[in-house]
Structure 1
Amino acid sequence: MPIHPLNTTNHIRSTYLRYLRTIKPFQDEWYRQAFADAVDESDLLVKGPILEVALPYEKGQSIKDLVEEGVLSNKFANLQSPDLPYTRPMYVHQVRAIRKAVSGRNLVVATGTGSGKTETFLVPILNYLFREQENGTLSQPGVRAMLLYPMNALANDQMKRLRRLLENCKDITFGRYIGETDRSNDRDEAIRNFQKVYPKEKILDNELFSRKEIQTNPPHILLTNYAMLEYLLLRPNDSTLFDGTTGQHWHFIVMDEVHVYDGANATEMAMLLRRLEDRIVGDRLGRLQAIATSATLGKGKQDYPTVIDFANNLFNLPFIWEENKPEYQDIVEAERVPVEKISAKLWGKGTPEFYHELALLLDHRPSEISTQIPYLSSFDKVIQKYAFPISYQEARLEATKNPETAIQRYLY
């Protein structure tokens, strides 16, 4: 169910204040009341709530458009995944990032939360693997792309998405190598152990579940964290990831949430990446391509030179930003729909009085499903009062038939 931001704010504030009152058990009533009044003082502990109104991102071409243009492999049509719809328009900044990455540029994708940063590196990686498949080299085991995450939770979320995305791409292998990766030598046993922890996750033939599998046949896409990467570079059993015939295919290094690496942590990360590059690049300069993503790196174009310096120092690879030359801009920023393009239809045509009455009704919504159908009649009266079009009738009828699941949609 959607969260009501104002009610949630008030609930959190009141719960916290109630907790504060109980941790100071003053015996004297006057002191007890004075303390309660002090912590209740407006804006002392809680600022806001602060609501941000963000314009939608500008939409551009679809995967299908880029395939027809020849930018991407036609094998994207075989994905058939709702996680990456073939014909749905992507955001303009996603398309720009994909074009740059496919052309071989190192990138910093500095767009906001919910802007689809994952697609900006997954699509180029998949395209690279599809091209290998077309050339007949994908059957050779070895890491092509390493996705580095600062937290295991983020890596686990990405694994869930890869399972959905690669369900129909059995030739592309992927695996997660972190502290909890299974140590058994038997795949079936590793799968059983995995299912105990993740009973709802689908088991795919192209996912590697154990350390032994990853060491024997390194996956095309490897997910890990910087602490585990340190161990991988040191341990002889993991040398197949970097050395010999299985270690000669490296191409992408992707760092998500790159803003978390600052100060001494960034220095350590930069040294770790240099050790990795020395191990896998050798004398083949230009072999690696880096993509970094962050929703909070820099505060706009005025900080882009600093961001470029940060990326250069972190990856030890060339990043460029030239203000008036789009082809030499390795930072991808979001592009939002201009305010003048936002029509009244998108935001609604109601008056402030209309929305005020709706808000009052929402604040007194009954919790019992059985009482919600009569509750809807109150909305009907408000809508009729303000002579609103009867375009809401379909949703109203659906809510009447199935209130438990459809009531929220009607209110929206």
Structure 2
Amino acid sequence: MALNPLSYTEKVVRSFLRYQLTTYPFADERLNEQMRGLLSLDQTRDTPLLKGPYISLSRAFQTGATVESLVSEGVLHEHMRQLIPYPTMYGHQESAIRMVMAGRTTLVSTGTGSGKSECFLYPIISRSLQLRDEGAAPGICAVIVYPMNTLAEDQLGRLRELLAGTGITFGMYVGKTPENEADVTGYRLPPGSSNVDYRAKLAEARAAGEGTSVHPSEEVCSREVMRQQGSQPRILLTNAKQLELLLTRQSDVELFDNARLDFLVFDEAHTFSGATGAEVACLIRRLRSFCGRGADGTVCVATSATIVDPTNPDAARDFASRFFGVERDLIETVGEEYEEEVWADGRAVPAAPADPLDALESARAAVDVDDPGPAVAAVCRKLTGAGIDPDAWEASLHDVLARNELLYQCAELLTVPKSLAELIVEIQEAVGREVSEEELITWLTLGAAARKDSRPLVRPVVHGFLRGVQGAVVTFDSDDHAAVLHLSAEEDEDGDERRLRMPVFTCTTCGQHYYEHSLADLDYLGPAPGGGQAADGRVYWETMDVANGGVRCLFIDRLISSEDDEIDEHHPRLSALHLCLSCGSAHDANVDRCLSCGEQAGMTELQAVQQRQDREGCLSTCVCCRSNGRLLSGRFREPIKPVRAANVKDVHILAQDMIHHAERKRLLIFADNRQDAAFQAGWMRDHARRFGIRLLISKQIAARPISVGDLVHALDRLFDEDDALSSALLPEVWAVAPKEAAGTEHQLERKKLLRILVLRELTIGIKQQIGLEPFGRLKVNYLGLEESAPFIQKWTRALRIPADELVGGVAAMLDQWRRKRLVLDRVHG
């Protein structure tokens, strides 16, 4: 079934909110409950982390000519019947193809997913087939320029599917293109292989979980071969910077020997503006001049979702004229062409559901099951009173909802994106009754599922802006001084500026919470806090930012490991201080009026955490679980972390969820700059490796109990048979000892690393939440620890306890030591 954008968005947002809750786990139930309520897990649309959703409806594109008719008219080569996977073009695709084949410079401005690439790709392939039939000399026929390598790589995959077995050569020249043919990775099909061979090999690689590329014999994969006379690709994919290098470096200009340059395409042309656009415009003229082509000798095509202004088509022609150096009267623009929506004449406003929330949940559940027919029929009857055919439920539902006035008004109003709140007001005015958000989303969900002739009744497009927790803080209730959690200081809207707000941290192991503050002249390196100022027989410490010389200090109000969360007043690392709820100054005892600001705002008692002499301002050890901080790359890392989201992690989680719930497992992530993109890619790759190795371990131990040594050997065999998997998950081994046919060092290093990774998985901390053992996927048994063992029998009699209880007790003790990493590995010491 086609993806339902409303249901899809709800799933992604709900999963992201669950991640936000679990990634900052409060062991304190009261704070955890507050966190859950603030995130609004039960009503995801109300969460403060989501801006939106903004909803619009896309329209159906007008149907154009059939592929058969375009071939019959001679517009396309006759073999295009076999290459084009769809029998019919969209109207704008037909218009663009006719213009390009007629030699007109063309600007295609249609939305994402509208098939812009086909507008230039099919004419290029058709012309290449014609040149093949004519026996034309080798040489570049088309250059397609992309602003990003990712887009070029995506198009390369499409060319492989289309051109495998056709004899039409193609290649991609970007920074990562291998220099030598020997450096090309992946599987190369032999000359003469067919398209069926390519698809079979690709399916085989995917079924095996391999990430290797499959190269048809038509693909020119290396720069070395591209430069060889007679081996130039007929179709070249590149980017603007690489194209400039090709025309500048003497070693590369041979690539354009005998180039025909029938077509020059710039995808996402709106990115080539300003100074960059001027430079690329000069590059276009240099390329045409080098290939001996005039302004009218090369068909130029530009595509973009925004380059054509419907209200001023001349602006686009002016841009193309300057960019390509073509007379503006010779430039054609192509925009989207829409079908007329089909609605019934006798429409009526449906009755409001008795329970809108239940109706929404029922509709979502109905469209998501494997066999939606009966469930959707039940929902439709409950909401409209009309029955539909469960076996042909999509068309039947389409007929019923086409008479729905509320859904019709949605279609009329959502020609531009609107927030739900804005849409609700306008819908209520249009239908003359109260409409809830739940009811509105219910109708849109069903409307997106209703289809006739594979065409949905409505096509919701959902935009949402998600963010992670920006830095949680606590304030304190003026009555009982209980901690009140806020997802960020900005969201504490009820409090005034002079109010104590303390950033929140949690222990990465046990979830004990800490509150961060900074005070002037605080010295808590000994048994009790020192320093401060004296007044009226009391000592107080004024609030001072660390940047101005204040001392960072951490406080707790409950100790989770103690009974009833009460704190022992004689705890060796804790001392009670009383903080002013207005200015945050600390006092050694409770006072009616703050000795710093003079206000009677009230005091809250918190426990200050002692600091070490060599780690002033830092938490060296968690007071609850005693997890230690550590030096990492010369910097001290505390055993706690702030309740604040990291963009790189949030993007990773969102990407995983979007891929998981999507029908087509393809996703593009955009970053502000190359550095951010590189960091995001590296971070995701590293964490994917960890879970990839866990998955392989899980598969090996699922069938039978296995020893550490046998598990390492099984993994080693797996990686030895799959170099692509090995290089992806164990890059350290390949960096230290590349694999050689006659060498053994690579295998030795691989086994050593695998043993380390297995032992690391077996010694995960007791309170760690991520790992096979915390997930319930791994259980460690100890050889010889059984009821019949002499040791167990001896102590069972001596202690007079059942043998099974003694075995369990000894195993629990060994688990404690193991998960504290008190383990000796005799293989590597």
Normalised-by-shorter TM-score class = 0.7 to 0.9
Q: Aligned to 1:253, what secondary structure does the other structure show?
A: strand
Equivalent residue, structure 2, for 1:218:
232
2:234 alignment partner AA: H
1: CA distance between counterparts of 2:350 and 2:310? 38
Equivalent residue, structure 1, for 2:672:
none
Matches within 5 A, 1:22-41: none
2: CA distance between counterparts of 1:228 and 1:101? 25
Q: Aligned to 1:118, what secondary structure does the other structure show?
A: helix
Greater share of helix residues, 1 or 2? Answer: 1
Q: Is the 8 A contact 1:84 1:165 kept in 2?
A: no
Q: Is the 8 A contact 1:160 1:201 kept in 2?
A: no
2:58 alignment partner AA: A
2:219 alignment partner AA: E
Q: Is the 8 A contact 2:377 2:388 kept in 1?
A: no
1: CA distance between counterparts of 2:375 and 2:261? 63
Equivalent residue, structure 2, for 1:272:
283
Q: Does 1:59 align with 2:68?
A: no
Q: Aligned to 1:133, what secondary structure does the other structure show?
A: helix
Equivalent residue, structure 1, for 2:262:
251
Q: Deviations over 1:239-298 (max 9, x none)?
A: 1122xxx3341111101111112222212221222222222226x552211000011224
Q: Aligned to 1:292, what secondary structure does the other structure show?
A: strand
Matches within 5 A, 1:6-405: 8=9, 12=13, 46-77=50-81, 80-81=82-83, 84-85=85-86, 88-137=87-136, 140-170=137-167, 172-186=168-182, 189-192=183-186, 199=211, 201-216=213-228, 217-242=231-256, 246-281=257-292, 284=294, 286-298=296-308, 300-320=309-329, 330-339=332-341, 342-344=342-344, 351=350, 359-363=360-364, 379-385=376-382, 386-392=385-391
**Structure 1 residues 185 and 157: CA distance shift in structure 2, 3 A:** closer
TM-score by length of 2: 0.39
1: CA distance between counterparts of 2:52 and 2:216? 47
**Structure 1 residues 68 and 11: CA distance shift in structure 2, 3 A:** closer
**Structure 1 residues 376 and 343: CA distance shift in structure 2, 3 A:** closer
1:238 alignment partner AA: D
Q: Is the 8 A contact 2:186 2:214 kept in 1?
A: no
Q: Aligned to 1:330, what secondary structure does the other structure show?
A: strand
Q: State the 1:7 CA deviation.
A: 6.8
Q: Is the 8 A contact 1:109 1:117 kept in 2?
A: yes
Question: How many pairs were matched up?
Answer: 362
**Structure 1 residues 248 and 393: CA distance shift in structure 2, 3 A:** closer
2: CA distance between counterparts of 1:234 and 1:277? 14
Q: Deviations over 1:99-134 (max 9, x none)?
A: 111110000001111111111101111221122233
**Alignment gaps of 5+ in structure 2:** 25-33, 39-43, 189-201, 395-447, 452-829
1:337 alignment partner AA: E
2: CA distance between counterparts of 1:176 and 1:358? 51
Structure with higher RCO (Cα < 8 A, 6+ apart)? 1
Q: Aligned to 1:276, what secondary structure does the other structure show?
A: helix
Report the RMSD for the aligned CA atoms in angstroms.
Answer: 4.2
1:114 alignment partner AA: G
Q: Is the 8 A contact 1:281 1:288 kept in 2?
A: no
1: CA distance between counterparts of 2:74 and 2:12? 53
Q: Is the 8 A contact 1:9 1:49 kept in 2?
A: no
1:338 alignment partner AA: E
**Alignment gaps of 5+ in structure 1:** 24-32, 321-327, 396-408
Q: Is the 8 A contact 1:106 1:318 kept in 2?
A: no
Q: Deviations over 1:209-260 (max 9, x none)?
A: 1111111111000000111112111111211122xxx334111110111111
Greater share of strand residues, 1 or 2? Answer: 2
1:158 alignment partner AA: Q
2: CA distance between counterparts of 1:253 and 1:311? 13
1: CA distance between counterparts of 2:72 and 2:91? 17
1: CA distance between counterparts of 2:374 and 2:72? 51
2: CA distance between counterparts of 1:75 and 1:14? 47
Structure ID, larger Rg: 2
Q: State the 1:76 CA deviation.
A: 1.9
2: CA distance between counterparts of 1:41 and 1:112? 27
TM-score by length of 1: 0.74
Percent identical among aligned pairs is: 31
Q: Is the 8 A contact 1:107 1:319 kept in 2?
A: no
1:388 alignment partner AA: G
2: CA distance between counterparts of 1:11 and 1:120? 33
Q: State the 1:338 CA deviation.
A: 2.4
Q: Is the 8 A contact 1:190 1:210 kept in 2?
A: yes
**Structure 1 residues 280 and 338: CA distance shift in structure 2, 3 A:** same
